[in-house]
Structure 1
Amino acid sequence: MTKRAVLIAGPTASGKSGFAMALAKQLGGVIVNADSMQVYDGLRILTARPSEEDEQALPHRLYGHVSSDTRYSVGGWLRDVSPTLQDIWDNKQLPILVGGTGLYFKALTEGIAETPHISEAEHAAFVADHADIDIQDLQERLARLDPVSANKIERNDRQRTLRALMVLEQTGQSLSDWQRSAEQQALLPLAQTVHRVLMPADRSWLYARIEKRFLAMLDDGGEAEALNLLRKNLATGLPVMNAISLPHYATHVNDPETIDRAGVVEKSVRDTRRYAKRQMTWFRNQMKDWPRLDPMEWVNDSDKMLKDLQQIAQELEKQA
C-alpha cells in the first residue's frame, strides 16, 4: 500500500474515537493513538481510551503502552509511531491516527524543532484560563514538573512561568527537554494524508458533553482508577499526574477538608472545559488548512456522518 494515512484531530469529547472506528470499519483501517494521555496504562477510563471491547473489535495501536511512571513526550511518540506505521503499511492496511494532541500531528507531518511554537492567541488563552491562580502556586507547580526551567525564571515572572507550564501541558515535554532536543524531520508529510479536524460550531454543546461524559466516567469506575494510581505514590512531576482530575483527587485524599468529592467533580469538569478550549485554539492557529467537520451535524442528520466517511474514502481513492 502507498504510504497514506487518515488523520482525525479534535478536542476532547468531540466524538473522534467513534468517527475513527466507523472509518476503520468502512476502510479496514488500523486505529493509531495520537493523544498524549491515552498512551499511559492505568487510566483507561479517565483519559477516555477506547474500551476493551472496542480494542477487541478493531485493531488499535499505541494505547496504554507506556508505564505510568514514565516521562513520555512527543519525541517518544514519534519513535514509537514510526515502526507502527511501517508495520501497518507492510500489512497493506490503512493507518487512521486519531487524538486531541495537536503537537503530535504537527510533529508527524512537519517535524519538530528545538522549541515549540506558541502563538500569541494560544498564550493569551492560557494566561486567561490561569488568571485566578497565584504566581507562587504556579511557580511551585513548575518547580515540581520542570525544575530546570523553574530555576532559570526570575521570581514573580508570571509570563515566562505560564509559558513553561503551557509547553508542558500541550506537548507532554518540558521546555528544558525541548531545548535539549535535536531537530527531527517529518515522518509523514501532510500531502500523503487525508486529514480532518472535528470542530463543533457551538462550544456549549461540547461543554455539555464534557460534563455528561465525566459523570459517566465516575459511574464506570473512574474514581477508583484515580485512587488506584495515587496509591502508587508516583512523583508529582510525571506527566500522568497532570491528567484531568488527578491533582484534585490527590488533594482530596491528602486533605479532605480542602476539597470534597463534589469539589473534585466541579474542578475536573472546569479543567476539562478549559483544556478543550485550548485545544480548539491550537487547531485554529496551528492547523488552519485542515478541513473541518462539525460533529453536531451528525446528531441532527443521521446521514451526515456517512457522507463525511464517504468523502474521506473518495479522497483516498484519488491519492492511490
Structure 2
Amino acid sequence: MPKERLSVVVTRRLPEAVETRLSELFDVRLRDDDKPMTRAELVEAMASADVLVPTLTDAIDSRMIAQAGERLKLIANYGAGVDHIDVESARRRGVLVSNTPGVVADDTADMTMAMIIGVTRRIPEGLRTMAKGDWTGWAPNAMLGGRVGGRRLGILGMGRIGQAVAKRAKAFGMQVHYHNRRRLRPEMEQELEATWWESLDQMVARMDVLTIHCPHTPGTFHLMNARRLKLLKDDAYLVNTSRGEVVDENALVRMLKAKDIAGAALDVYENGADVNPDLRRLSNVVLLPHMGSATIEGRLEMGEKVLINIKTFDDGHRPPDLVVPAML
C-alpha cells in the first residue's frame, strides 16, 4: 500500500518551478493570490497540515503554535531568518523548524555594495534630477559625492553575508572593520584584511560607513539605538539590509534631518511596509523595498532547500537545515 503523502500548506506564492515540484511530491495547498495569510488563515493551516511553509511575512507566535493540530510536525520556513517564528514554543510542542541558510549571501552583499555606492555618490538624487527634467548640463561642482575607496567600512555582524560584503568592499579599496559575537579565525581575518573590534561603540565612532548584517533577536532589537547612533561621525553613512528592528528608526530620522550623519541606505524598516513618511522626504537617503535577496536564482535555491528539508523529514530523517535554539 503506497505511503500517504504529506499535507503541506504554502502561505505565499513561490516560483512556479518550486510550486510544481512541491505538487509532484506532496499533497500541497498553494495560494491563489500573493496576499499574506491572515492570522486566522495561518491558525487554520497549522491545524490541518503536516508541514507549513511560511515566509518572513508570517508572524507565528506561541499562541498560534498552541492551537496547531496534532498533525503539524514541521515548519519549513522559506527564508533564512526565523525571527518571525517562536522556535522555542514550536520545539516544546514537538514541531521542528527549518530554514534556508547560505543561499542569498552573495545577492544581499551585491545589493549592499550597490547601496553603499548609491548613497555616497548620490545616485538616487541624480535619477530624480533626470526624471524631473531638471538637468541643465555638467558643472564642476554639481552632484558631488565621495569615493568609497579608502573609506573605513564597519560591518556589524560577520556571518555569511557580512563576509561576502567584506570581500566586495576589499575589492573596492575600502578598509574593512567588523564587530561580531565571535571573532573570526586568524586566517579568515587575514584573507578579508578585516580588523576586529571587541567594542561596538568604539567601532561605530570611527567608521565612515556602517553596514548592518545581524539577525533580529531580543538581544539585537534597537542595537543601533539613539545613544549608539549619536556615536556616528557627522560625515558617516548607515546601511541596513538585515532587519529594520535592529535600528531605532525614529532616532535615525531625527539625525538625518539634523544632518548629524551624512546619509543612510535602507532596504528594511522597523515597521515593515509601513515606512516612516519622513524617510521618503529626505534627499540624503536611499530607500529600497526589501529587495536585497531578490534574484531569480536565489528564490529558486531557497525553494530547493525547502523541498530538501521536507523530503528529508518525510523520509524519516532530520532536516539538514534544522533550526536549534543554540543558533538563535
Interval containing the TM-score (normalised by the shorter chain): 0.3 to 0.5
Q: Which protein has the larger Cα radius of gyration, Structure 1 or Structure 2?
A: 2
Q: Which has the higher strand share?
A: 2
Q: Greater relative contact order (Cα 8 A, min sep 6): structure 1 or 2? A: 1
Q: TM-score by structure 2 length?
A: 0.33
Q: Which has the higher helix share?
A: 1
